[in-house]
Amino acid sequence: ILKILKHQSVRGLSVVAFELEVVGYTIALAYCLHKGLPFSAYGELAFLLIQAIILVAIIYYYSQPVGTKTWIRALLYCAVAPTILAGQIDPILFEALYASQHAIFFFARVPQIWANYSNKSTGELSFLTCLMNSAGSMVRVFTSLQEKAPTSVVMGSVLGIVMNGTILSQIIVYQKPHGKKEKKLD
């Protein structure tokens, strides 16, 4: 968030990736709340959801003009999210939503990974944030195992390690060395 605000740029960031993150965090948080898991097993999801919502808002702000489809997606989320977070949906649908959130997180990361690969740059992605996401996924595996969370919760965290680790690796590989001037070819 701070890097985007400092540079006033969302260069290299995939809007779809961050929108899907918001959806995925909403479903994951709602599921953990609905299952009555201890806060230690899912607490960071609340903060990650808030961060993801702020990031999407900032991306929209710096991606002016925002199209009608974007507004429709945002309004649809605002209409549906409270119902999901309150757990006021059919239990079978809730289980299906939770099962799909792993795919949502996977597909949220793929556009960003592909954009990074295609651009040979990670744009305004923050090394520190990606490092914390990767570490958070690792810690989440441990706490989920300690709290005897369902296997699907643990597997979602393992998927997070793989996807966040890939983006973190790209940040390391594509970063430009500081202090060195690029040579001009004649």
**CA angle, residues 112, 41, 35, in degrees to nearest 5:** 100
Contact assessment for residue 124 and residue 26, using Cβ atoms and an 8 Å cutoff = no
Domain with CATH 1.20.1280.290 in the chain: 91-177
CA–CA separation, 171 vs 130, rounded Å? 9
Mean pLDDT of 10-31: 88
Q: CA angle, corner 73, sides to 72 and 75, nearest 5?
A: 65
Tens digit of each residue's pLDDT (9 = 90 or more) over 74-127:
999 999 999 999 888 888 988 888 888 888 989 888 988 998 999 999 888 888
Structure tokens that stand for 55 in this block: 């990031």
pLDDT of residue 182: 43
Q: Please, are residues 44 and 57 in contact by the beta-carbon 8 Å criterion? A: no
Q: Judging by beta carbons within 10 Å of its beta carbon (0-12, 13-18, 19+), is residue 14 exposed, middle or buried?
A: buried
Nearest to 60 by CA among 107, 13, 105: 13
Specify the fold of 91-177: Monooxygenase (1.20.1280)
Cα–Cα distance measured from residue 95 to residue 98, given in angstroms and rounded to the nearest whole number: 5
- In tens, the pLDDT along 27-77 reads 989 988 888 888 877 788 899 899 999 999 999 999 878 888 988 999 999
What pLDDT score does 80 carry?
Answer: 93
* Cβ-based neighbour number of residue 49 at 10 Å: 22
d(CA 1, CA 52): 9
